[in-house]
Structure 1
Amino acid sequence: MLKHLQPLALWGLLVAALAPGAAHAICDVDYRVQPGDTLFSIAETHYNDRSRWTLIYYSNQHVLAGPSVIPGKTLHIPCAGQASAPDPTPLRKDDAEMKLLTGGGFAPFTDQALPGQGMITELVNAAMELTPSPVSYSITWEEDWSRHLFPMLDEKQFDMGFPWLKPDCAATPDNERCVNFHFSEPLITIPIMVFVRADDPFRFDSDADMIGKTLCRPDGYYSHDLDRSDRRWLSEGQVTLARAKTPAACFQRLMAGEVDAVSLNLFLGADTLIAEGLRDKVIPLERAISEEGLHVVISKRHWRGTAHLYRINAGLKALKAEGRFQDIVSRHLELFWAQLQ
């Protein structure tokens, strides 16, 4: 492969890739991070497309500082995956021992119309296949997400549900999710970005840059990452949190000058920008506010809760060890960005 190219050969590929009409990415190579690099700039160099920075992010989380690069560290630059997806595992059937619950409209993670029914669905399928204690399971789709935790999972109408954000249970142990549910290891982490008007000189290089700003998030969205042990933006009145009914409404408030920025997960933000026709008018800043995990959850009153979570966690660990985790993630990321473009 290309991992051991000498610098001159790599430079030749770089020149070719950046030439007008170039279509080939410089991928399946290792790259040493230089001062001033960001995931955005590295993606632009290797893929000629800044939006594909998440391919590098998900391939190198073990050497990143969150979504930030560290000069001197070596990153692997993966090639984009193909859009096709395998059939579900043979353990998945209607009349099954374990019943899982999810819903759609959450691209690229879960939706019945997506290849593999979404990235997270495919990760769950593969993890269930690789668990050391496999059981048959079914997946039910309920499009009203507000019913998933309460009453459906809380009353054990289903065994487990996915994908769900985990609150900061150490700081807020009385949060209803923390009180009522166990969480798996993260299936994946997602960057929570700051979206600003393209003509705004707003910078977010450190937490101090956010002091005095007004951020918009939709009604019902978490805020624990804005008020944690090392960041007291809300409790100390350093940042104002504005609300709107929908992500689109937050972006409308941004364009009207009512808020300084919108804070959403990268994928929801990008999808909303395209739907609202704001792609050239609003941009994500290169520093994320936080990273949030997506988990499988199960009621704390479920008599097999520990055994079921073990299956998911052990299968996910095996999935990463085999390299299939990155293959699945890369394939779905490539499809997501291709659809947006």
Structure 2
Amino acid sequence: MSTALLRGLDRRGQEARLAVGHRSALMKIPTKTLCIGCTAAFLSGGTAWAQEACSTYVVAPGDNLRYIARNAYGDADMYRVIYSANVDTIGAKADLIEIGVSLAIPCDPREETVTAAAPSVGLQTEVVDPAKQPVEVVPELPVGDAGLGGSEVVVQEPAPEPAPEPEPVEVAAATPEAPPEVPATESQPPMAFPYRLVTGNGYAPFADEMLPGGGMFTQLVEMAIFRADPAIPYNLTFVNDWQAHIDALLPSGAYDLSFPWVRPNCEAPDALSAADLARCENFEFSAPLYEIVDGFFMPADSELLSATSYTAFEGKRICRPEGYTTGVLEAAGLTSDKIDLSRPIEVTDCFEDLAAGKVDLVSIDAEVGDSAIAALGLTGDFAQNPHLMTLDSLHVIAHKSNARAVEMIRQMDGGVIEMYESGEWYDIVSSALSNGALQQ
């Protein structure tokens, strides 16, 4: 995605922050990203019925599936329920709903006891419990062997001598066997097995299975996939070891895509750490879905709050969680020989160490930092330096050795553009930021 396009989209991202009253230090920072298409297409007037479950709704100007789902079910993430019930009307691409078109609004599947209703909610999308993943159908293989053994016994009972006469029948049987092989080859989209997506917890407001829709970034990713093609199957798993995502899970092919990840400045490889350089060389990045403000948190009474140069942080104990790029520190001249850097697994570990006086600063995305502080009940104890911060973008990544996953990244990029132009990106971001502001 070009820098020019990203800049053009920044204005809408900034509006998202302003709309939810984001703190003044961040209001001046553009927030960001891209998207295109499912808003009602024609700007003519029209009478819309109230959006209610178990009814019919006439599309009005400005509608999209998320808006309709929120009004009908109280949950915008249930847009797939409405889409599934109106595929013939909306179309396979789901990139356009026209004003005046009548959409069937199914009854709320959450109120139904029939388990068959579940698949229609997320199509082939599901959240996979990591604890259940090791369970495979492998134990059934011995059962198949037993079945073969049984057939051998049956073959032994009849006398094999009469076989010569049925030979013509065998020839006839050979002919029908060919057709089954043809459909098997044609329906060989076993390549359509679900894409395996992995993210992790403890990254509020972007990713956490306890957040609505799995977090803001999770919702953006799922909507981008839906916009790219509603029929794309995928599974989503939460694995909390973020470093394992890039060290093992993606390189081994165990998973196809991981999110969200900051893209280092790959255009300046000489200035990158070995870890960031490897990330640039080995991973494919999606178009940016969101832009973050990376800053420094410290005790509310710290003299470092007034610092206007990164040199003031030299010699300090800085905490930045494992899995987070250190490029923001190195770009500021805060290399490992100039600071005492600690790398715990969890963001909350950094703030607990800050509260205990074990570190002087926490280097983290502003929104993630605010969420972690609120979760610890320490709001008011810490503050972010308002002068020293950098902008980074968040992406979905795929290992370059996984051609299928790289192609999926390209498909998603198109979906991101459509999502932005439809207003769904703004809806997801503003809702998430509003919810976060209410919790702090």
TM range (shorter): 0.5 to 0.7
Q: What's 2:234 paired with?
A: 138
Question: Counterparts of 2:335 and 2:292 in 1: how far apart (Å)?
Answer: 22
Change (3 A) 1:339 1:257: closer
Change (3 A) 1:302 1:259: closer
Query: Which residue number corresponds to residue 234 of structure 1?
Result: 335
Listed as ranges, the gaps of 5+ residues in structure 1 are: 1-38, 63-80
Q: Normalising by structure 1, what TM-score? A: 0.67
Mapped partners of 2:265, 2:363: distance in 1: 18
TM (norm. structure 2) is: 0.53
Distance, in Å, in 1 between the alignment partners of 2:27 and 2:219 is 17
Question: Structure 1 or 2: larger strand share?
Answer: 1
- Within 5 Å, which residues of 2 pair with 1:184-199? 184-199=286-301
* Deviation (angstroms), 1:320: 1.7
Structure 1 residue 325 displacement after superposition: 1.1
Amino acid at match of 1:103: G
Q: Which amino acid aligns with 1:195?
A: F
Counterpart AA for 2:328: D
Cα distance change, pair 155–92 in 1 and its aligned pair in 2 (3 A) = farther
Instruction: Tell me what 2:47 maps to.
Output: none
Q: Which residue of 2 aligns with 1:77?
A: none
Aligned with 1:243 (options 342, 345, 355):
342
Residue 123 of structure 1: how far off its partner (Å) = 0.9
8 Å contact from structure 1 (residues 165, 295) kept in 2: yes
Q: Is the 8 A contact 2:197 2:258 kept in 1?
A: yes
Aligned to 1:159: 256
Q: Measure, in 1, the Cα distance between the counterparts of 2:79 and 2:245.
A: 23
* Pick aligned residue for 1:181 from 268, 277, 283: 283
Q: After the TM superposition, which residues 61-210 of structure 1 pair with which residues of structure 2 at under 5 Å, given as runs? A: 84-87=75-78, 89=80, 92-94=123-125, 96-131=193-228, 135-146=231-242, 147-169=244-266, 170-171=269-270, 172=272, 175=275, 176-202=278-304, 203-210=306-313
Question: 1:163 and 1:259, CA in 2 relative to 1: closer, same or farther beyond 3 A?
Answer: closer
Provide, for residues 136-161 of structure 1, a one-character-per-residue CA deviation record: whole Å limited to 9, x for no partner.
12122133434433433222233222
Shift of 1:225: 1.0
Q: d(CA) in 1 for partners of 2:430 and 2:26?
A: 9
Judged with a 3 Å threshold, the aligned counterparts in structure 2 of structure 1 residues 288 and 319 are, in CA distance, closer, same or farther, namely farther
The answer to whether the 8 Å contact 1:134/1:311 transfers is: no
Moved more, 91-100 or 327-336: 91-100
* Cα RMSD (Å): 3.5
Residue 325 of structure 1 corresponds to which residue in structure 2? Answer: 425
Q: 1:104·1:141 contact (CA, 8 Å) conserved in 2? A: no
Q: 1:215 aligns with which of 295, 303, 318?
A: 318
- Once the two structures are TM-superposed, the CA of residue 121 in structure 1 deviates from its matched residue by 1.6
In 2, Cα distance between the equivalents of 1:193 and 1:178? 23
The secondary structure found in structure 1 opposite 2:403 is coil
Measure, in 1, the Cα distance between the counterparts of 2:79 and 2:253. Answer: 24
Letter in 2 for 1:185: A
Mapped contact 2:199–2:260 kept (Cα < 8 A)? yes
CA contact (8 A) 1:196 1:261 kept: yes
Residues matched between the structures, number: 274
The answer to whether the 8 Å contact 1:92/1:138 transfers is: no
Match for residue 362 of structure 2 among 259, 262, 286: 262
**How many angstroms apart in 1 are the aligned matches of 2:381 and 2:425?**
34
Unmatched 5+ stretches in structure 2: 1-13, 35-66, 85-121, 126-191
Moved more, 319-328 or 92-101: 92-101
Q: Equivalent residue for 1:225?
A: 328
Q: Following the alignment from structure 1 to structure 2, what is the Cα–Cα distance between the partners of residues 282 and 142?
A: 29
C-alpha contact 1:185 1:313 (8 A) present in aligned 2: yes
Partner Cα separation in structure 2 for residue 279 and residue 270 of structure 1:
8
Instruction: Select the structure of larger CA radius of gyration.
Output: 2
- Shift in alpha-carbon separation, 1:100–1:281, aligned structure 2, 3 A: closer
**Deviation readout 1:163-209 (Å, 9 max, x if unpaired):** 22333433448534333321111221221121121122321334454
| CA distance in structure 1 between the partners assigned to 2:255 and 2:358 by the alignment | 42
1:281 corresponds in structure 2 to 381
CA change 1:161–1:277 in 2 (3 A) is: closer
User: Secondary structure of 2:373's match?
Assistant: helix
**How far apart in 2 are the matches of 1:279 and 1:174?**
36
Which deviates further from its counterpart, 314-323 or 109-118? 109-118
Structure 2 letter corresponding to 1:118: G
Counterpart of 1:316 in 2: which secondary structure? helix
Distance 1:261 1:337, change over 3 A: same
